[in-house]
Amino acid sequence: MSYLFVGIGGIIGSLLRYYIGLSSVIWWSSPFPIATLVINLIGCFVLGWFTTYLSKLKLFSPALLTGFGTGLVGSFTTFSTFSVESVQLIQNSLWGFAILYVLSSLFGGLFFSYFGYRLGDICTKNRLQREGETYK
Q: For 42-96, what is each residue's pLDDT tens digit?
A: 999 999 999 888 888 888 888 999 999 999 999 999 999 999 999 999 999 999 9
What ranges in the chain are assigned the alpha helix state H?
2-27, 34-52, 54-57, 62-66, 74-76, 79-91, 95-130
Residues flagged as binding site for Na(+) = 74, 77
Classify each residue of 106-132 as buried b or exposed e, where b means 16 or more C-beta atoms within 10 Å of its C-beta: eebbeebbeebbeebbebbeeeeeeee
This prediction's pTM: 0.89
pLDDT in tens, 11-32: 999 999 999 989 998 888 899 9
Known binding-site positions: 74, 77
